Amino acid sequence: MRAMLLKEKGKPFVFEDLPKPTPNEGEAVAKIIATGAGLTIHHTRMGRTPDIKYPLIVGHEITAKISSVGKGVKNLKEGDAVTAYFYVTCGECKWCRINRETLCSNFLGYVGRQIQGAYAEYIKLPARNFIKLPEKLNYKDNPAEVAVICDAIATPYKVTRRAKIAPLENVAVIGAGGGVGIHMVMMAKRAGARVIAIDIAGEKLEKCKEIGADEVIDASKENMTSSLIEMTNGDGLDVAIDFVSTSQTIESATQSLGIGGRFVTLGGAGQDFSASAREMVQKELEIIGSRYCTKQEVIESLELVARGDVWPLVTETYKLEDAEKAHDRLETGSILGRAVIMM
Ligand SMILES: [Zn+2]
């Protein structure tokens, strides 16, 4: 099968012909139709993620068709249209059992990092990492959009729940121009909120407006905290969602929260910050971390797209052999929405 391999840390992809994988007990193999190229994958391409063994095939957001199943697999059969779940979890610990599997205490790694991913014609995964597409989701005509639902839609879908976003609330999205950020704007809007998109690129902010942001802040030109306080008539934000998460963005965001405000970080730079405990108590603020999404949230996100409630924003597609071109554009932050590799 054709595959793009990372052979050394931080070095470009190498195109190779590899043997097609065969499923062992409890595993299945799927033929890839389309696979997303987002920032999570790009960090691995650049050698910025730990615990990687080379050679590696990256990629985890897929539209695919099951081509063979191993012994004991009951939930899948040849020909099933599927997407994938990014985390490899045990399925048995307390966190897996209560449907919070991103917290799995026997975490086994990520698809496209610790096990081979989707920048190839075929992918082999534990059968429970494949999620069947709902019948009314038209993946045949929209394979690129369907591929990215399992991360670009499902991750912000989870945030709308964790932050308990309610209609008419003031919600700011920091890093709104990014591949998941722009879908966060979409999902917060769908939840009925008034959405303020914050980024440092004018072109991306224009796109945020087009897909529904009520206001935008160009953080390269304006002071984020004072603009947010002004835009909310001095009340402050109900929810701030931070995809950038430097000390500076986190402190601006938490200082912009109003009474009952919630702050959500999705990692980003992952820096330390300081906050006032007195203010947290007086306003009953909440500080929340949110990791990816659960399988159930992927299933519900597929359903939302099938119903036409939201639609993923894919603006660029590439051939497998041109994956490096997509990653050049990811490195410079030039991609609006998501890029997808078509097999
Ligand atoms: Zn577990």
CA–centroid distance, 125 to ligand 1, in Å, is 17
- Residues 213-223 have a mean pLDDT of 96
CB 154 within 8 A of CB 293: yes
Mean pLDDT score across all residues of the chain: 96
Task: Give the chain's domains with CATH numbers.
Answer: 2-151+293-342 (3.90.180.10), 164-289 (3.40.50.720)
% the chain with pLDDT above 90: 97
User: If you average pLDDT over residues 72-99, what whole number do you get?
Assistant: 96
Q: Is the pLDDT score of 83 beyond 90?
A: yes
Torsion sign, CA atoms 177, 138, 100, 163: positive
CA of 293 to the centre of ligand 1 (A): 14
The pLDDT of residue 202: 85
- Match 């009952």 to its residue by tokens: 260
Tell me the mean pLDDT in the region 65-92: 97
**What average pLDDT does this structure show over 251-260?**
98
- List Cα–Cα distances, 327 to 26, 42, 45, 58, in angstroms: 33, 6, 8, 12
Contacts of 119 (CB under 8 A, 6+ apart): 3, 4, 13, 35, 57, 58, 59, 112, 320, 323, 341
**Whether the predicted pLDDT of 232 surpasses 90:** yes
Ligand 1 centre from 99 Cα, in Å?
10
Q: How far is the CA of 30 from the centre of ligand 1 (A)?
A: 24
Summarize pLDDT for 15-43 with one digit per residue, the tens.
999 999 999 999 999 999 999 999 999 99
pLDDT, position 24: 98
Going from the Cα of 96 to the center of ligand 1, the distance in angstroms, rounded, reads: 4
CA of 56 to the centre of ligand 1 (A): 24
pLDDT score, position 172: 98
Ion ligand 1: residue ranges with CB closer than 5 A: 89-90, 93, 96, 104
- Separation of CA 87 and ligand 1 centre (Å): 10
Count of C-beta atoms within a 10 Å radius of residue 131 = 22
> What is residue 136's predicted lDDT score, i.e. its pLDDT?
96
Cα separation of 36 and 146, whole Å?
A: 9
- As given in the structure block, the two tokens for residue 27 are 């595993």
Cα 295 to ligand 1 centre (Å)? 13
Q: What predicted TM-score, i.e. pTM, was given to this entire model?
A: 0.95
Determine the 3-state secondary structure of 18 from DSSP: coil
Question: 6 alpha carbon to ligand 1 midpoint, in Å?
Answer: 29
pLDDT tens digit string along 287-311? Answer: 999 999 999 999 999 999 999 999 9
**Is the pLDDT score of 139 beyond 90?**
yes
Percent of the chain with pLDDT over 70: 100
Find the 231 Cα to ligand 1 centroid distance in Å.
43
Predicted confidence (pLDDT) per residue in 310-326, tens digit: 999 999 999 999 999 99
pLDDT for residue 80 is more than 90: yes
Provide the pLDDT confidence category of residue 201 given band limits of 50, 70 and 90. confident
